[in-house]
Structure 1
Amino acid sequence: MLESIRIYNNNIRQIQKGFILLLNLFAITTVSAQQEAKIFEAYKKDRSLLPDFSYAGYHQGEKNIPNITDYKYFDVTDFGAKPNDGKSDKIAIQLAIDAANKNGSGIVFFPKGRFLVNEDGDLTNSIISKKSNIIFRGSGSGPGGTELYMKNNLPPANPTQMWTVPPLFIFTSSGSDKKIGQVTAAASVGDLTIQVNTTEGLAAGDWIMLKLLDNDKDLIASELKYNKVEPEWTNLVEKGISVKVFYQIKNIKKGKLTLYAPISYPIDPKYNWEVYKYANSEEIGIEDIAFVGNWTEKFVHHRSWKDDSGYTILNIRKTTNSWMKNCRFTNCSVAATIGQSANITVVNCKIDGNAGHQAINSNGSTNVLIANCVDEASQWHSFGSSNGSMNTVIWKCTYPATTCFESHSSQPRNTLLDDVEGGLLNGRAGGAMENMPNHMQGLVLWNYKQTNEPVKDFEFWPPSAVFEWWKIPNPIIVGFTSKGTTFKMEQLGQSESIGTAVEPASLYLAQLKLRLGKLPKWIKEKN
């Protein structure tokens, strides 16, 4: 009997080994079946074929997000906050931030527990930090960690404008931008040097804003190509092409500024390209905190200011080389916005609870990386870009089949949806009619996995008589997989391998490795 059992067990182990071998062979076959993307092979020789997304993120993706331990600690409980006592902690939190700001750096620290940040009787103002080198750190965003609970919404600046509720938390700078001069010579996409008429007031290490606003018809036509401009798009028609991008100066020599990151929009000096000294904070970290709102109603888009922005949680603005990691946003209208900033990384964050308006977006910012984030709430607009953002990377993020990425008009450009999984719905981009189209050139879907039901002949530029709220010119789609969606191919700028994922699995990582010669340490640690 024992011998029979031994033989039986040996047979089972052999079957298991065979099954594991088959699984491994299947995995190898699946990987090898993924095609090497021809467009990426061509890109290695001709960098004009794709936008260069490799400069996105904290210090251009080259450095690890630091684990700051040597700053002075400003524990909010030392300023009067007390978790789990049912009393407001809003004043104490602002006092702790003010003390860290005055010190010139600091870790504003929250122990475990629930802190109340907008209770009955609290002033209806935002909690604000305006200095560099501030770490806003909790003790974890999961159960048993740090929760900042927002019972009441802040009032809108204008109740008829549903987007005007201010964020409860704002991390920004205290200075103002200063106009320096004009760009005087042409520069191509990829150039690291620009010629200006004066460098007075600028030094190596400073940040600049390059600004263009010009309604020249040829300039508009050159960007939209064969796509028709609608007269209702008054900001584009009347004000024109708008670009605001942020770069750090590496060195200055004879009227030339050499930048750390390359120009991402072609500069023609016959148009009105201005240079500003950019007033920014830097090295801001927001870590390990659960931000919990009190949005509990069923969301209805544009029904009210409470729906659209009543529980707006956090805004990082006029900030560079900063990060947010391991945070959770629950029951909120708008989770977080990265506004007029550069080289920000948002990583390992989650939106859950009751569905609201927006998840996490890059708004008017340059080289923002949103990585490994999940929207479980199904915000009306999930992760995305808006308002002139340039080179936004959304990498390995997921959202439900019931929503889609955000592309919220006012001329965002160069947005990469990279190894992203979720819905593809043409009603979720966003933006007012006067600010259309939803996106300008440079939207790239790379190994995008669509999870909602298939659509036949999906359109990125449908006739306005059919649908006027979804206009994206010439997107690039590579390695798109779905349950059978097809596209109006003439509306795509470039396309390859629709129906089968490609190698490299991530365009962002492939471009980063191509630029640096190897992947940086933080990528290796993550993977």
Structure 2
Amino acid sequence: MINAFETKIAKTNYIIFFKALFIIMFESIREYNDSSKKIQKGIIFLLNLFVITTVAAQQNAKIFEDYKKDKNVLPDFSYVGYHQGEKNIPNITNYKVFDVTEFGAKPNDDISDKQAIQLAIDAANKNGSGIVFFPKGRFLVNEDGDANNSIISKNGHIIFRGSGSGSGGTELFMKNNLPPANPSQMWTVPPLFIFTSSGSDKKIGQVTAAASVGDLTIQVNTTEGLESGDWIALKLLDNNKDLIASELKNNKVEPEWTSLINKGISVNVFYQIKKIKNGKLTLMAPISYAIDPKYQWGVYKFAHNEEIGIEDIAFVGNWKEKFVHHRSWKDDSGYTMLRIQKTTNSWIKNCRFTDCSVAATISQSANVTVLNCLVNGNAGHEAISAGGSTNVLIAKCVDEASQWHSFGTTGGTMNTVIWKCTYPATTCFESHSSQPRNTLLDGVEGGLMNGRAGGAKENMPNHMQGLVLWNYKQTNEPVKDFEFWPPTVVSEWWRIPNPVIVGFTSKGSTFKKEQLGQSESIGTAVEPASLYEAQLKLRLGKLPEWIKETNKASTF
């Protein structure tokens, strides 16, 4: 392991080498043109700029060095994504193909294709697996006269595949919005496309012994009905005041936060069982929330599907009005495009979401990757988020529309990584209350502003412990003494306790340091450039190939 002194020496040698290189260039030019003062001054300026940039770029994050010795210093984000980040998203070619045109769909005409698409999905579901395939062209998925219902798939091993999400590819056009379940509740319009599971979670028993963050084994009172390879949900709901205080630390509960006060701390996390022995479950991923058995942690068999892929499709809505937050159900959720729900080891990749209220949500799922997706067109309510899920990766996605809430988390989500995503200076990441935890914004570029996190007052705060901003680049105007836990007179809709801020860059923003959990290198980016990549490499010994390929590939 390279220590701090060796790192400093390496930096110094690196700088000396390039200084020497520039001096050689300088002397060569002087020999040919002694009178060229402008060139000489230009080279000196570039030399100094290069040295300053080199020093800044090489600054190592102390907190990561500490993490190598003590894993409790930071949340462990290395298990997020499809198969815990260890496998590439597969290119499935050996499933039976269900071409929607063989079920009555026809691109580029004036007739709805909604029923034909559902028939193709039903056939693939009945087969037990399948590729629901769309050739190039525009398919109409919610026209006048269509039933006001979602298009639903309830089985696993289904690939929903188009022929490209760009110009000349596959477009699924939603002319009309679906109606809300309750018009007075502006979030209740269902998604047009839902990939989910039938059945419900089954109560097995409860945890009987304490488990610390990072443990891979839990003790339960019974393992009856469970096998290796099964998925479980660990559920906690307890309004013990000491439990609430231990999580919020030095921050106080506000009277309007009735969900936290009356129902309490809510945790619902999903893990796959690796091994069962002597009443102990060994899990594939470590516990991310400390378990104290006095708080009645329930163990449930998780009803889910797996290996669902949504690929190379443009989902296009018909939201054309100027968005006004909470003006109407049509603003907030009228054109909600896609939801993956109750699934594991699944993905959305290379998709586009245009003119929509809500692009896509990952709900009550685990180890899902959303990769290289674009949100554009008319601005709406939400971009892409993880809700009530565990170990979700949102990677190299771009929000050009400036959704009111951009990429983020909601509803008890645990361990989410938003990796190398961008959104405009006019919006901010989402943190939509109902107790999300452990969210990493890693190499993200976009606005930072309070009031854009989201969530009803009764479900506050916006986030619990574990928000990490790592090499976050703020692009909107700077804010002096930016607050994560401001007084009500400053903001009623922005409460995040003890975030970790490392390598934050901006046009000059500063923070109220006493509100931060940990902070380092404010104003200068750090190494490692990506915390997610560094933690994954530390766990596996090397970066998997898909990371290398993704880093090479361009985004939208």
Distance 1:31 1:329, change over 3 A: farther
- Which residue type is aligned with residue 348 of structure 2? M
The amino acid of 1:352's aligned partner reads N
Structure 2: state its 5+ residue gaps.
1-31, 552-556
- Tell me the SS of whatever aligns to 1:270: helix
Aligned to 2:53: 30
Any unmatched runs of 5+ in structure 1? 1-10
SS at match of 1:512: helix
Matched, 1:386 2:386: no
Q: Which amino acid aligns with 2:550?
A: K
**Alignment CA distance shift 1:421-1:237 (3 Å):** same
**Cα deviation, residue 30, structure 1:** 2.6
* Aligned equivalents of 1:157, 1:21: Cα separation in 2: 67
Structure 1 residues 298 and 504: CA distance shift in structure 2, 3 A? same
Match of 2:491 among 461, 467, 491: 467
Q: Matches of 1:180 and 1:370 in 2, distance apart?
A: 32
- Partner of residue 82, structure 2: 58
Q: Work out which of the residue numbers 471, 474, 480 in structure 2 matches 1:450.
A: 474
Structure 2 counterpart of 1:411: 435
Written as runs of structure 1 = structure 2, the 5 A alignment for 1:326-405 is: 326-405=350-429
Cα pair distance change 1:31/1:134, threshold 3 Å: farther
Deviations 1:19-62 (A, max 9, x none): 99998996686354231000000100011000000000000000
Partner residue, 2:293: 269
Tell me, what secondary structure is at the counterpart of 1:503?
A: coil
Partner of 1:283: 307
Structural mapping, 1:132-151, within 5 Å:
132-151=156-175
Aligned residue-pair number = 514
Q: CA deviation at 1:427?
A: 1.2
Note if 1:222 corresponds to 2:246: yes
Q: Take 1:157 and 1:499, find their aligned partners in 2: how far apart are those partners?
A: 47
The 1:114–1:20 alpha-carbon spacing in structure 2 relative to 1, beyond 3 Å, is: farther
Q: Write out aligned runs for 1:1-400 (5 A).
A: 30-34=53-57, 35-400=59-424
User: 1:314 Cα deviation (Å)?
Assistant: 0.3
2:456 to 396, 418, 432: 432
- CA distance in structure 2 between the aligned counterparts of 1:520 and 1:24, rounded to whole angstroms: 37
* DSSP-derived class of the 1:391 partner: strand
1:102 alignment partner, SS class: helix
2:302 is aligned with what amino acid? Y
Taking a change above 3 Å as real, the CA distance of residues 496 and 174 of structure 1, as seen in their structure-2 partners, is same
The 3 A distance-change label for structure 1 pair 73 and 466 is same
For the residues of structure 1 that align with 2:103 and 2:282, how far apart are their CA atoms?
Answer: 45
User: Take 1:23 and 1:308, find their aligned partners in 2: how far apart are those partners?
Assistant: 50
Deviation string for 1:462-509 (max 9, x for gaps)?
Answer: 012332110000000000000000110000000000000000000000
Return the letter of the residue paired with 2:236: L
- Measured in 1, the distance between the counterparts of 2:51 and 2:313 equals 40
Code of the residue aligned with 1:44 in structure 2: it is K
d(CA) in 2 for partners of 1:355 and 1:24?
44
1:5 alignment partner in structure 2: none
Quote the offset at 1:160 in angstroms.
0.2
Pairwise CA distance, 1:521: 1.1
* Secondary structure at the counterpart of residue 332 of structure 1: coil
Q: Specify the code of the residue in structure 2 equivalent to 1:424.
A: L
SS of equivalent residue, structure 1 residue 81: coil
What is aligned with 1:422? 446
- Specify the code of the residue in structure 1 equivalent to 2:265: I
Partner SS, residue 538 of structure 2: helix
Classify 1:135/1:490 alpha carbon distance in 2 versus 1 (closer, same or farther; 3 Å).
same
Equivalent residue for 1:4? none
| SS of 1:36 mapped into structure 2 | coil
2:294 aligned counterpart, secondary structure: coil
Distance in 2, Cα, partners of 1:108 & 1:26: 54
Aligned partner of residue 405 in structure 2, secondary structure: coil
Letter in 2 for 1:256: K
Choose from 492, 498, 503 the match for 2:516: 492
Whole-angstrom distance in 1 between the partners of 2:125 and 2:51: 54
In structure 2, relative to structure 1, the CA distance for the partners of 1:432 and 1:24 (3 Å cut) is: same
1:330-354: CA deviation from partner (whole Å, max 9, x where unpaired): 0000000000000000000000000
Distance of 2:411 and 2:264 partners within structure 1: 14
Quote the Cα distance in structure 1 between the aligned partners of 2:135 and 2:108: 11
| 1:525–1:24 Cα change, 3 Å | farther
Residues of 1 paired with 2:419 and 2:142: CA distance? 33
Structure 2 CA distance for partners of 1:33 and 1:320, relative to 1, 3 Å: same
Q: Deviations over 1:322-372 (max 9, x none)?
A: 000000000000000000000000000000000000000000000000000
Q: Report what 2:530 is aligned to.
A: 506
For the structure 1 residues 393 and 23, does the alpha-carbon distance in structure 2 shift closer, same or farther, using more than 3 Å as the test? farther
How far has the Cα of 1:425 moved from its partner?
Answer: 0.8
What is the CA–CA distance in structure 2 between the aligned matches of 1:250 and 1:410, rounded to whole Å?
Answer: 30
Inter-partner Cα distance in structure 1 for 2:329 and 2:285: 38
Q: Secondary structure at the match of 2:549?
A: helix
Matched-pair identity in % = 83
Distance 1:49 1:136, change over 3 A: same
**Aligned-pair Cα RMSD in Å:** 1.8
With the length of structure 2 as denominator, give the TM-score of the two structures.
0.90
Give the letter aligned to residue 53 of structure 2. Answer: T
Cα distance between partner residues in 1 of 2:99 and 2:477: 49
